[in-house]
Amino acid sequence: MINSNSDLGLPFKDVPQRAKLIIHKTLSNAWKELLDRDKKNQLSTALEPQITEALFVIICEFWNKSRIPGFDEYLFGSPQSGPNIRNYNGEKLEKEIDIRIPSYRLASGRDPYNGIFIECKPVDKKHSIKRDYYEEGIKRFLDGDYAWAIPSAMMIGYAREGRKLKDNFIPYILENRTQLFLVEHTAPSEKFFDGSICETIHDRKFILPDHSNKVGKISIQHHWLQLNKIQQI
């Protein structure tokens, strides 16, 4: 493996919480826009990649037109969809996070391993929290496949059939806290984005090349977007 990151001061510093709040506001408003545009109810049969692509298009529109205060080229780089980025030790060269939003002015320079990394997963009767949301989502952050050079990331859940963080996700992480290397969590609040956001903090066991210590904890902010208003799959 060619190590091109030995002098970058890894891991990078986290982006400020205010920047994450801007992203959450962008996601919420982009989702409302997507639901409003779905006149033919195509989301009712759409798969996760189709939903994510449609959401990403609106996110890019918001960035280009500065629709959300703060979500513009001054603080953030142009949103990216599915960029190929290697894992922490270079053994996997084509790891594709669903969405990456560069944060050049808020973090440590213009590096492809920096920014806000967002993974999207459906949460419904066909897609379980354990198999799809954890094993195919959260675990990739813990194993160093995604966001290995930074201390935070985000997950989007496309929630169907009334699934909510407080009723479905929080009980799961508390029952499986050892497997998830869960350090702590914040419960969702109905006063904050209608209870659609919570945060989990996990330990990470891998060690970066040319470093002697573990990379440290990662905080993952979970934003569940509801599909309740459309036909169920």
219 has which bridge partners? 152, 201
State the pLDDT confidence band at 65, using cuts at 50, 70 and 90: very high
pLDDT in tens, 145-183: 999 989 999 999 999 989 999 999 999 999 999 999 999
Residue 97: closest CA among 70, 74, 118: 118
Q: In the sheet where 182-186 sits, what is the strand order?
A: 80-81, 99-101, 116-123, 152-159, 218-226, 197-202, 182-186
| Mutual angle of helices 17-37 and 48-65, in 10-degree steps | 110
pLDDT of residue 83: 77
Residue 126: closest CA among 165, 155, 157, 160: 160
What global pTM score does this model have? 0.91
Contact call for residues 146 and 117 (beta carbons, < 8 A): yes
pLDDT of residue 67: 95
Distance of alpha carbon 157 from alpha carbon 155, whole angstroms: 7
Domains and CATH numbers, the chain: 17-226 (3.40.91)
Distance of alpha carbon 208 from alpha carbon 10, whole angstroms: 8
